[in-house]
Structure 1
Amino acid sequence: MLLLRSAIGVFGAEQMMLELVHALCKSPFEPIIGVIENRNKFCTELARTAALSGLRSQVFKCSRPFDPRTAYQIRKFIQETCIDLVHAHGYKANFYALMGTLYSKIPCMATCHPWTETDYSLKARAYSFMDRIWLRKMDAVVAVSDEVRQQLSTHNQKTKVDVIPNGIDVDRFNGLEKDFNLRRHLACSSSDLVIGAIGRLVPEKGHPFLIASAKAICEKYPHAKVLFVGDGPLRQQLERQVAELRLNSHVKFLGGRPDVPALLSVIDIFVLSSVSEGLPMVLLEAMAAAKPIVATAVGAIPKVISHHDSGLLVPPKDSQALTNAIEFFVKNQREAVRMASAARRMVLANYSSKHMAQKYLKHYEQLVS
């Protein structure tokens, strides 16, 4: 089986693929991760990450949008490797999956992740339109949340879309204790209040609203530190905002890092300030790490986080609401611990990679039977 993705790094969708492949390794299917190189950024980070994890991968060269030579490479690989199923992730992978299996009886399925919710450019709308056409030709279509399914159904009423929520390897977060050496390395003392945000520095993550909130938090709690883990096109803009608010001594940009469990261990409060989401992997990871969570009520987040039960939900684009929620946890430690424990129980019961893989296996078995 070939899982196909055009990737310039390892972010939410790529992490979901890795989790799925890990969970499928003991199944009858032999998963291979296919990475379509981005024509502008010849990045094979997904393939390297897979290799480090002992997973099989294959890189397909791509020198221009919808390169026929890429389709030929994929088709040849499918034939030579006796691939019996192609599982595509993303519009470009959807196209190449269909081209690679053209005139064959090999089934194709697609998993739809959110990707253009805050991008209203002509290019993004064109890709979205073409993707709707390609999805109609798939043998099965899965969305990572009800919200993504609703978006697809609005435009593709003839396409049956099932929902399979993302899942994580919860065992990676068992017995997680604070890493005080890492805290010191990050210039955070044991007494500092460490607020963490993990995710790409892109518009849909709403980081400017968290930075505005950090101004109020740091004025009231001078020992507060805010860590941004991740990289992206907005980094310079966000760094300028931090400088303008004179928060340089409080806010740190750590870039992309693979040690998410260790980083979560040093964080006191996890914040997700997104203005648009599906079902973010990092939210599930923070829940598994039993962190007090402040998150915006967008996408599938309200289905995962129950307000004042397993975390605090706030409206998107509302810095004051973020500030109030963060301060609630600072002032109410018992409530913070209670909600963090409830969040961990929730993810253990419903959002493990094993649960996710079992649901995908049912689709695979139906398609190849």
Structure 2
Amino acid sequence: MRELSGIHGVKIATRIPGPGSRARRLFVADPVSVLHARVVRGSGGGPDKTILRSMRHASTTGYAMGAAYMRHDRDADFDAIRSQAQRWRCPLFEVRDRGPLDPGCFTEALRLCRAHDVRIWHGHDYKSNLIGLALRRWHAMKLVTTVHGWTWDTRRTRLYHHVDNLCLRHYDEVITVSRRLLDHCRDHGVAHERLSLVTNAIDPVEFRRRGAVDTEFPRQVRSSDALAIGVVGRLSIEKGADRALELLSGLLHRGERVNLHLVGDGPEATVLRSRSEALGIADKVHFHGWHRDARPFYESVDVLLLPSRTEGSPNAVLEAMAMEVPVAATDVGSVRELLDDGRCGVVLGNTDDTDGWMDAILSLTRDVERRGRFARAGRRRVLDHYSFDRRMHRVYDVYDRVAPELAVAREPLRRAA
């Protein structure tokens, strides 16, 4: 067994589970004011960046936080979550999840809540929201959730979406990351006074240009003098990387000298490779896989493309803006708000007909001065409106409302900060 340092002096004990053991990484029995809960597959996504980064702010707030992740034993890619948790000093629970109806998730979550006197359960998806509702009958605590968005591409995900809508009505506070999601929740029965809009955010100190980066990653991107369009995200249907391939094909047919670079992995990787070969553009498409740190990639591309079919508040757009990369993104989630209605980047129609994007994209690829204006405007917008500190204070305000007794206890720390 080894121990890792956590916030507030909490130690995280790591051990290999024995027979019947469900948790692989556990707190010692210290109080946890807020327990973030999430179901995850693979290396995670944008919500996990936000959850795990939140922990480093907790030491000055009076809120002791931890994160409980429900994941399958055979998920070898979960190491990426562990690595991020260690980097951000996030106390991490791992709860074995054998499927949607696994009762063991409830049993383990109840044990954790009781052992650490959890006061606020903060769910992040349909299953953690459902478990939170069930737990409250057995352990008194407040319920908060963040709605990051949904997908509807299968019958199962549509069912999950319906279950989540039912759960949200019973939560003490529902945080949404875009106005569209806020309107959706209100339309599905969540009381207006229990809704808050807190968009995702970025640390502008962590995400800033540092000049030339001497690593193999950017050299792969800049190995050609063709313009580099980058896509950062999970290779799944809702992220729309197939749209990026169709767009690239159209640009090449117009004689543009451009390459497409994809950073991420996921279930559609093989399909996308096959599609690039079928379009005859495989030599112009570069699959870089998942990278823990994409900042060198942002420093190397000329344009960040977000071709998503659905989003909440996309971290890739915020990261690119902070890194002074001009952005072209579909009008999903909070994209229009992030890009200030097109003043800080190009807003594309949310359509599979990428021919409709062509003029807007060409206005970037052919105009270096316009790219520069968008790059500078994006950085300024992040600094003014989307810093991570600003976001976290809004989240703490939510916690203060649902658990005023905790707000009173942390007031001395607030004044000191």
- TM-score tier by shorter-chain length is over 0.9
Q: Deviations over 1:22-52 (max 9, x none)?
A: 3334321111111111477475342342023
* Aligned with residue 275 of structure 2, among 227, 241, 244: 241
Matched, 1:225 2:243: no
Match of 2:137 in 1: 102
Residue 399 of structure 2: SS of its match in structure 1?
A: helix
Give unmatched runs, 5+ long, in structure 1.
Answer: none
CA contact (8 A) 2:339 2:346 kept: yes
Match of 2:13 in 1: none
Match of 2:314 in 1: 280
1:343-362 alignment to 2 at 5 Å? 343-362=378-397
Counterpart code for 1:368: A
Distance in 1, matches of 2:254 and 2:225, equals 15
Distance change >3 Å, CA 301–CA 187, structure 1 → 2:
closer
Provide TM-score, normalisation by structure 2.
Answer: 0.82
Q: Deviations over 1:70-113 (max 9, x none)?
A: 21111111111222211111111112222333233211111111
Q: How many residues align?
A: 367
Distance in 2, matches of 1:188 and 1:177, equals 14
Distance change >3 Å, CA 43–CA 4, structure 1 → 2:
farther
Distance change >3 Å, CA 299–CA 193, structure 1 → 2:
same
Distance in 2, matches of 1:187 and 1:310, equals 24
Provide TM-score, normalisation by structure 1.
Answer: 0.92
* Aligned with residue 144 of structure 1, among 177, 180, 193: 177
Matched, 1:206 2:240: yes
* Aligned with residue 362 of structure 2, among 300, 314, 327: 327
Question: Please, what is the CA RMSD of the aligned residues?
Answer: 2.1
Distance change >3 Å, CA 190–CA 178, structure 1 → 2:
farther
* Aligned with residue 68 of structure 1, among 103, 114, 123: 103
CA contact (8 A) 1:2 1:86 kept: yes
Match of 1:125 in 2: 158
Residue 305 of structure 2: SS of its match in structure 1?
A: strand
Counterpart code for 1:320: D
Distance in 2, matches of 1:10 and 1:289, equals 22
CA contact (8 A) 1:206 1:274 kept: yes
Give unmatched runs, 5+ long, in structure 2.
Answer: 1-33, 405-417
Distance in 1, matches of 2:290 and 2:209, equals 24
Match of 1:2 in 2: 35
Q: Give 1:236 shift.
A: 1.5
Deviates more, 1:279-288 or 1:64-73: 64-73
Q: Deviations over 1:162-214 (max 9, x none)?
A: 11111112211223324364466426326331110011112222222211111
Distance in 2, matches of 1:184 and 1:290, equals 16
Match of 1:366 in 2: 401
